[in-house]
Amino acid sequence: MKRRFNKKTVRIHAHVNPLSHGGYSPPLSPEHTDWSKHYPDHFHESKRGNSESKKVTIVDIGCGFGSLLRTLSVLFPEELILGMEIREKAVAICEKKISDLRSGVNISFRRSRSRRKSGRHKRRRSPSRSSSASSRDGFPPSYDNISVLRTNVMKFLVHYFEKGQILKMFFCFPDPHFKKSNHRRRIISQNLLSEYAFVLQVGGLIYNVTDVEDLFEWTVGHFDDHPLFEKLTEIELKNDPCVSAIRDQTDEALRVSKRKDKKYVCVY
């Protein structure tokens, strides 16, 4: 009997040193990435080197267990969406959840109170793929446009994406690295912003959300100081469904709401 992933059987480390080089096998370049393994319904293995192949355009950095990926899959069914996560066990759990979604297993990316108490994680098959989501055109989502991979974004981002490839990038509740000596480990810095700008399309957007005011001020300060980014106004964000998704619909966002803590959002 296969062992199920859950918080009672798997210890998930909250922090991994992003300055470490070990344990990663990035491709030599974006052209060397075999995306057919991640999106088999969109790629044929023989076409993996074809520059005209469909490309990933939406990225969730530090995707955790993938709750935002599920939402984005419904919001953008025509886009290829990738979660990038540094923690090996978190990636394994996310992969399993995506596999279940694709096979039509009705699951939740978060455990209910009763399941946490009992330690059981019930699943059932549903012909509609998921009772909690439906695609924009009325058909049930297939979730064949989302995937996850383990990597260190701070070191290997440009190994996966070409210049001007990414339409949207998300940083949801990143590790704040409170100690001043660890600020160099933060996912937002001037050097990293230049790399993010390189892979973004002209007019592409970076979404940020955190419940740590100090980290929010750090993030805004670095974006404001960078010549390639411009902050969107509240009016511009008013009808953006992605803002609601990162603020209210991810696992961490729900935990923050339960604590009644404030969430800080900025988009550039």
Active site residue 175: yes
- The whole-angstrom separation of Cα 157 and Cα 195 is 8
The two three-digit tokens of residue 186, written as one number: 């933060």
What does the DSSP 8-state code read for residue 1? -
Catalytic residue (choose from 34, 144, 175, 261): 175
- The whole-angstrom separation of Cα 152 and Cα 148 is 13
**Is beta strand 264-267 parallel, antiparallel or unpaired with respect to 200-210?**
antiparallel
- The whole-angstrom separation of Cα 201 and Cα 195 is 12
What does the DSSP 8-state code read for residue 264? E
**E runs forming strands in 46-98:** 56-61, 80-85
Asked whether the beta carbons of 56 and 81 are under 8 A apart, the reply is yes
DSSP string, 85-143: ES-HHHHHHHHHHHHHHHHTEE--SS--HHHHHH-----EE-TTS-TT---TTSSPP--
List the one residue out of 63, 11, 89 whose CA is nearest residue 174. Answer: 63
Q: What are the catalytic residues? A: 175
